[in-house]
Amino acid sequence: MPLDEYDKIAHLLRRAGFTAHPDELEVAAARGLQATVDDLLNFERFPDVSPDPELISALDLSQEDFNRSRGEFLNKLTRWWLHAMVTTSRPLQEKMVLFWHGLFATSVWGLEFWQQIYLQNENFRGNFDPDTGQILRPAPRNPFPVGNFRRMLEYLSKDPAMLYWLDNQFNVKKNAEVGSNENYARELHELFSMGVEDVVAKVPNYTERDIRQASRALTGWRVLVRANGFTFPRVFIFDAARHDFGPYEHLGKRGGTNADFIFDNIVRHRNPGQKQSAVGRFLGYRLFAFFGYDNPEPEIINALADVFDGTTGEAPFNIRAMLRTIFTPGNIVSEAFYSERAFRAHVKSPTEYVASLFRLLTFDRASGRPEGLPPSSPRLLRVLSNGMIQMGQQLFAPPDVSGWREGLAWITTTSVLARFNFATDVLGTTDSGIDIARLVAQAGLQEAIQKNRYGDIVDFFARLLWQAPPSVEAREALTAYLQSPTPLQSTTPNSSDFVNVKIRGLIHLMLAAPDFQVS
Amino acid sequence: MNKTTRREFIKKSGMTVLSVGLSHQAFLRHVRAASESVLTRAAALSPTDRILVVIQMDGGNDGLNTVIPLSGSAASLYRQYRPTLAIPETEIVPIGTDAAGTLLGFHPNLSPLKELYDQGRVAVVQSVGYPNPNRSHFASQDIWHTADPQGMKRTGWLGDYLDVALPSADNPLLAVSLAGGRLPLTLRAEHVLVPAISSVESYQFRTQPPSDHENKMRTFLALNREGTSEHVLREQIRLIALDTYESVQKLHSGVQRYRPDPTIAYNQQNPLARALQQAARILAANLGTRILYVSIGGFDTHQTQATPHATLLARLSEAVAVFYRDLVRLGLDDHVLMMTWSEFGRKVVENGNRGTDHGTIGPQFLIGTRITGGIVGEHPSLRQEDLNPGLGDPKFSARAIDFRSTYATILEKWFLVDSREVLGGSFELLPVIRT
């Protein structure tokens, strides 16, 4: 059975964003699928997320002072980003920042200056200028998160955190074969742009020598260690004294004086006899796996690669055009995206789990907006940071440069427990911003509670959290739960105790159920 | 491989079956325990009585300051290359000579291990590594975890063992990682799901308020019991949730059986000792666990390493010694083999910061009652021609031991399986396990 328009919109907003409240779905349904796609893609129409003044001011601390509280900084940064995902008017922008964080995986555990990871997050949002070290909203030439991929490679290669993380900071001219450190050059090919093999043709994309030659072109790309009154290294410089000016032999071409030559070769690289570029296929694969389903068919990968290559008439290397192809109905890629195969067939990452949880449970129906994660609760910061670690996705600390393993790999016995216990923790504290009494009041559930219409209560929360009616069995089990006797807090049970214990418990059970783990 | 049997069983029958399944297991255990006396303990162990405890020394242990040469050229070169880090000769604890006749000794903080060594409970396997060493922590750990020097595999060697040897085992606690929340790659399998448990206490479903706990858990189980076959992904998640429920129940039903002995004090300031105490609790509970995994971090000693490295070795040996004493008390020492590993040794030449940089080969310890104690292999040669040029760490020479020999020995002689099925090739076996 094909998806109806309402299902398509709900599906789109789960994948291209962080899940929409039923009220938002009503509004979007009235506007229609096409208008919803346009709003997501052209997010510059809407305001960007606001910076957290505490994070901004921490960037000016002396390194000694900063390091004393860098763990707390990381927790605050995590809270702020999750809050941004929950409250943003530009959901696709934040989703793409998450995509780039997973693809260009950088961890604070490889960094001396943890402040740089915040700059990288703003870089991926399009708000960082590496040449001046400034956060600007937006930074005029910055191509992230949906612009020209060729330029993204440049901005990535100038990113202070990346330069430290993969040692290019220390890559200096050595000889006509290789720079002094090939680490970044290797990952630029293997993980960040095309992969070892062409994802469709399964032939090697490059040789070890291509990597060594690329490392020469990247010599002298580094961050000024002390500059411009900043308290930590954050300004990119091209250090001609340490640079090897070529010419290089790279991906079958000879020439160049700098890394631009390498970036140009990478984005245009086609294996013999292949109609699509290696990078177009790699990104087509990664984008579709991220938004649609895992292991997309070669036709889908190739269709997206054609868009990347500009063979469909669009400007080449344009990520937004690829996303438009995925989300706009009427082509082979979007048919797959809106297919039954894709529908509810994605395991929420811990980030998506947390963001969707807060989006739905802090949504204020009066203002029509989610309120997000309150900034100043030390307990919530701890719950978030421990929870994300236990659930397996500590933001800003991917396990290694290849990022997180997505899909069913998110679900292990440990993470099932961690998701269950995270829900206990956020529902068990009043400073998490989740107001159960308001939720019940705004849903008009008081009457159902007073008249013991448990089925109605279950139906309401299933529609909110699972975005689907409950199965007969689930409805039965949850109704039985609401009926099950519990010694309540006061001696004479009343409806406020019922809300505090049983409605809270119902929400908890729904958050822990398989239905809430998929999107 | 049929892994759905147990789950299907639970799915169809509900919670009551769990306890039935448990008592069956427990029954067999008790029968075996009853038939066992001091007299029969030395008899051959059945395959199900063989437990492996893996101890990871995370960060690259400085093997040269762990097992230290006391004679020959190695001893003089050691002092020459380690002007500030060499352990004073008088403090080194001699353990004997290796196959090449070099007298070796333990770091002074390994004294508790020396006591076990003197009882023949410790095999020191020297110069363990692999050809073309990778000096990246991440890459080299992956190689050790997967037993694949190409680093291409996504499952671990013990995960593969579980898949090959015990594909249909109906036990969610067949292997348990006690090395934090993330499952070590060693235990990642294609089919068998291994829980990573930060601590026994934290491995449970927490709810609020306590008076509603039973109601919630009953509902959680009900929500996960019913399958909707048309939705494959939801179905997979549901089955893992059931596994989780079962492993939590099973763990907590058993660990109360462990009674601490006041004379066997695990130092609670020592994280490895704490983890091994958790291991002892799980083993004492007779849950059918065959593999336990613990880890101690901090071995990446690039700067002023003398004190931190000494502290780590003290923690290692103290934790192993107290765990072994506890196993003896519990009558389990005969069933347990411990293996240490670290992703690489360190450079012979100390660096400019009174530390050492990433190197190549290093020693491994195998510990247990069934071990043939002593030194296996030779200490790495420290002569210039035996070091990697420009890098200053020992070459993986013909005298070195491939780490997969240790793995093959454990698979063949301890787990009694064909190691080739797990390792994809044959490796020389080490004479370290008494059968």
What is the complex's ipTM, to 2 decimals? 0.94
Cβ neighbours of residue A16 under 8 Å, at least 6 residues apart? A40, A91, A92, A95, A291, A323, A327
Residue A269: count other Cβ atoms within 10 Å of its Cβ.
Answer: 23
Cα gap A128→A155, rounded to integer Å: 9
The whole-angstrom distance between A161's CA and the closest CA on chain B is: 19
Q: Does B212 touch chain A (CB under 8 A)?
A: yes
Report the range of poorest mean pLDDT among A91-95, A321-325, A331-335, B395-399. B395-399
Alpha helices in B304-402 (DSSP H): 306-329
Cβ contact A414–B183 (<8 Å): yes
pLDDT for B274-297, tens place per residue?
Answer: 999 999 999 999 999 999 999 999
Q: Does A480 touch chain B (CB under 8 A)?
A: yes
Nearest-CA neighbor of A56 among A136, A132, A1, A124? A136
Nearest beta carbon to residue A515 from set B205, B218, B234: B234
Cβ contact B219–A428 (<8 Å): no
A132 has a pLDDT exceeding 60: yes
Sign of CA dihedral A222, A228, A230, A231: positive
Interval A187-196 mean pLDDT: 95
What was the pLDDT predicted at A492? 56
Mean pLDDT of chain B: 88
Tell me what percent of the residues of chain A surpass a pLDDT of 70: 98
Interval A403-421 mean pLDDT: 91
| pTM recorded for the entire structure | 0.84
User: What single letter denotes the amino acid at residue A444?
Assistant: G
- Judging contacts by C-beta atoms under 8 Å, the chain B residues touching residue A416 are 240-241, 244
Cβ neighbours of residue B395 under 8 Å, at least 6 residues apart? B360, B386, B387, B388
A353 has a pLDDT exceeding 80: yes
Cα gap A27→A6, rounded to integer Å: 11
Tell me what percent of the residues of chain B surpass a pLDDT of 90: 72
Query: Quick one: tokens of A350?
Result: 């811990």
Sign of CA dihedral B91, B95, B96, B99: negative
- Judging contacts by C-beta atoms under 8 Å, the chain A residues touching residue B201 are none
What was the pLDDT predicted at B91? 98
Residue B358 three-state SS? strand
Q: Are B199 and B191 in contact (CB under 8 A)?
A: no
Cβ neighbours of residue B197 under 8 Å, at least 6 residues apart? A414, B176, B177, B178, B203, B251, B278
Residue B91 three-state SS? helix
Nearest-CA neighbor of A279 among A177, A102, A148, A128? A148
What was the pLDDT predicted at B50? 95
The secondary element (H helix, E strand) that includes residue B337 is strand B336-341
In total, chain A counts a number of residues equal to 519
Cβ contact B236–A517 (<8 Å): no
pLDDT for B302-358, tens place per residue?
Answer: 888 999 999 999 999 999 999 999 999 999 999 999 999 999 999 999 988 899 988
What was the pLDDT predicted at B40? 38
pLDDT for B9-54, tens place per residue?
Answer: 333 433 333 333 333 333 333 333 433 333 334 457 887 789 999 9
Q: Could you tell me how many CB contacts below 8 A there are between chain A and chain B?
A: 114
A493 has a pLDDT exceeding 70: no
Interval A288-296 mean pLDDT: 96
* Residue B193 pLDDT grade (very low, low, confident, very high; cuts 50, 70, 90): confident
Interval A158-171 mean pLDDT: 94
* Residue B139 pLDDT grade (very low, low, confident, very high; cuts 50, 70, 90): confident
Interval A62-86 mean pLDDT: 96
* Residue A485 pLDDT grade (very low, low, confident, very high; cuts 50, 70, 90): confident
Residue A47, burial from CB neighbour count under 10 angstroms (0-12, 13-18, 19+) = exposed
What was the pLDDT predicted at A151? 98
Write the DSSP assignment of B150-169 as a string of letters: T---SS-HHHHHHHHH-TT-
B249 has a pLDDT exceeding 70: yes
Query: Which of the pair, B48 or B377, is modelled with greater confidence?
Result: B377
Q: Does A227 touch chain B (CB under 8 A)?
A: no
Chain A residue with the nearest C-alpha to that of B194: A413
Query: Which of the pair, B135 or A65, is modelled with greater confidence?
Result: A65
Which of A391, A406, A416, A502 best probes binding to B when mutated, by most B CB atoms within 10 angstroms?
Answer: A416
Mean pLDDT of chain A: 95
In total, chain B counts a number of residues equal to 435
Domains detected in chain B: 4-23+48-423 (3.40.720)
Q: Are B247 and B195 in contact (CB under 8 A)?
A: yes
Q: Does A56 touch chain B (CB under 8 A)?
A: no
The secondary element (H helix, E strand) that includes residue A57 is helix A53-58
Interval A213-240 mean pLDDT: 93
- CA A338 to chain centroid: 21
Q: Phi and psi (nearest 5°) for B303?
A: -130, 140
b/e per residue, A231-260, with b = 16+ CB within 10 A? Answer: bbbbbbbeeeebbbebbbbbbebeebebbe
What was the pLDDT predicted at B42? 44
A60 has a pLDDT exceeding 90: yes
Cβ neighbours of residue B346 under 8 Å, at least 6 residues apart? B60, B61, B62, B63, B64, B301, B356, B357, B358, B359, B362, B393
- Judging contacts by C-beta atoms under 8 Å, the chain A residues touching residue B207 are 424, 505, 508
pLDDT for A101-124, tens place per residue?
Answer: 999 999 998 899 999 999 999 999
Cα gap B385→A444, rounded to integer Å: 82
What was the pLDDT predicted at B229? 63
**Residues paired with A177 in a beta bridge:** none
* Residue B2 pLDDT grade (very low, low, confident, very high; cuts 50, 70, 90): very low
pLDDT for A34-56, tens place per residue?
Answer: 999 999 999 999 999 999 999 99
pLDDT for B66-88, tens place per residue?
Answer: 999 999 999 999 999 999 999 99
pLDDT for B108-131, tens place per residue?
Answer: 999 999 999 999 999 999 999 999
